[in-house]
Chains A and B, each alone.
Chain A
Amino acid sequence: MSATQSQPIDISNLCKDYGAVKALDDVSLNIAAGEFLTLLGPSGSGKTTLLMALAGFTRPDSGSIRFGGQEMIATPPHKRGLGMVFQSYALFPFMTVAENVAYPLKVRGVSKTDQKTRAERALDTVQLGGYGDRRISQLSGGQRQRVALARAMVFEPQIILMDEPLSALDKKLREHMQIELKALHQKLDATIVYVTHDQREALTMSDRIAVVNHGRIEQVETPERLYRQPHSFFVADFIGESISVPVKLDSDTAQLGGRVLKSSSPIAQGRGGHRLMIRPELLEVTSGAVPETANDLSGQVNDIIYQGDSVLVIVQHDSAGQINVRVPANRAGQTGLPSKGEQIGLALHPEDTIIVPEHVS
Chain B
Amino acid sequence: MSIAESNGAAQTLQNASTLKSEERRESLTFFGLSLPAVLVVLIVVFLPVFWLSSLSFYNAAGELSMENYARIFESPLYRRTFVVTFQISISVTVICVLLGYPLCYWLTRMLDRTAAILMIFVLVPFWTSILVRTYAWLVLLQRKGIINSTLMKIGAIDEPLQLAHNLTGSIIGMVHVMLPFLILPLYATMRGIDTDLVRAAVGLGSSPRGAFWRVYFPMSLPGLFAGIVLVFILSLGFFVTPALLGGGRVQMLAQRIESTITVYSNWGAASALGVVLLLLALAMIWLMNRVFGLDKLFMR
B201-231 Cβ-contact flags toward A at 8 Å (1 or 0): 1111111101100110011000000000000
**What number of A residues sit within 8 Å (CB to CB) of B?**
25
Chain B residues with CB under 8 Å of A57's CB are 199, 202-203
Decide yes or no whether B66 CB sits under 8 A from chain A: no
A48-86 Cβ-contact flags toward B at 8 Å (1 or 0): 000000010100000000000000000011100111101
A159-200 Cβ-contact flags toward B at 8 Å (1 or 0): 001000000000000000000000000000000000000000
Check B205 against A155 for contact (C-beta < 8 Å): yes
Check A94 against B204 for contact (C-beta < 8 Å): no
Check B199 against A103 for contact (C-beta < 8 Å): no
Check A84 against B203 for contact (C-beta < 8 Å): yes
Distance from B143 Cβ to chain A, minimum over Cβ atoms (Å): 50
Distance from B197 Cβ to chain A, minimum over Cβ atoms (Å): 5
Distance from B296 Cβ to chain A, minimum over Cβ atoms (Å): 9
Check B300 against A93 for contact (C-beta < 8 Å): yes
Check B202 against A78 for contact (C-beta < 8 Å): yes
**What number of B residues sit within 8 Å (CB to CB) of A?**
21
A82 CA to B203 CA, complexed, in Å: 7
Decide yes or no whether A215 CB sits under 8 A from chain B: no
Check A88 against B203 for contact (C-beta < 8 Å): no
Check A94 against B219 for contact (C-beta < 8 Å): yes
Check A94 against B205 for contact (C-beta < 8 Å): no
A152 CA to B201 CA, complexed, in Å: 11
Which chain B residues (166-207) contact chain A, with CB distance < 8 Å?
194, 196-197, 199-207
Q: Closest B-chain residue to A90, C-beta based?
A: B200
With A57-B203, A78-B203, A94-B219 in contact, is A107–B210 under 8 Å at CB? Answer: yes
With A57-B199, A90-B197 in contact, is A103–B219 under 8 Å at CB? Answer: no
Residues of B contacting A: mostly: helix
Between B197, B199, B204, B215, the greatest number of chain A beta carbons within 10 A of the residue's beta carbon is seen for B204
Q: Closest B-chain residue to A105, C-beta based?
A: B205
Q: Which residue of A90, A92, A107 is within 8 Å of B205 (Cβ)?
A: A107
Chain B residues with CB under 8 Å of A151's CB are 204
Check B204 against A88 for contact (C-beta < 8 Å): no
Chain A residues with CB under 8 Å of B214's CB are 103, 107
Check B207 against A92 for contact (C-beta < 8 Å): no
A161 CA to B200 CA, complexed, in Å: 11
Check A108 against B219 for contact (C-beta < 8 Å): no
Q: Which residue of B206, B297, B300 is within 8 Å of A107 (Cβ)?
A: B206
Distance from B294 Cβ to chain A, minimum over Cβ atoms (Å): 13
A83 CA to B203 CA, complexed, in Å: 7
Check A78 against B207 for contact (C-beta < 8 Å): yes
Decide yes or no whether A104 CB sits under 8 A from chain B: yes
User: Can you list 26 A-B pairs with a CB-CB distance of less than 8 A?
Assistant: A57-B199, A77-B199, A77-B202, A78-B203, A78-B205, A82-B203, A83-B204, A84-B204, A86-B199, A88-B194, A90-B196, A90-B199, A92-B201, A92-B215, A93-B300, A94-B218, A103-B201, A103-B204, A103-B206, A104-B205, A107-B201, A107-B205, A107-B206, A152-B204, A155-B204, A155-B205
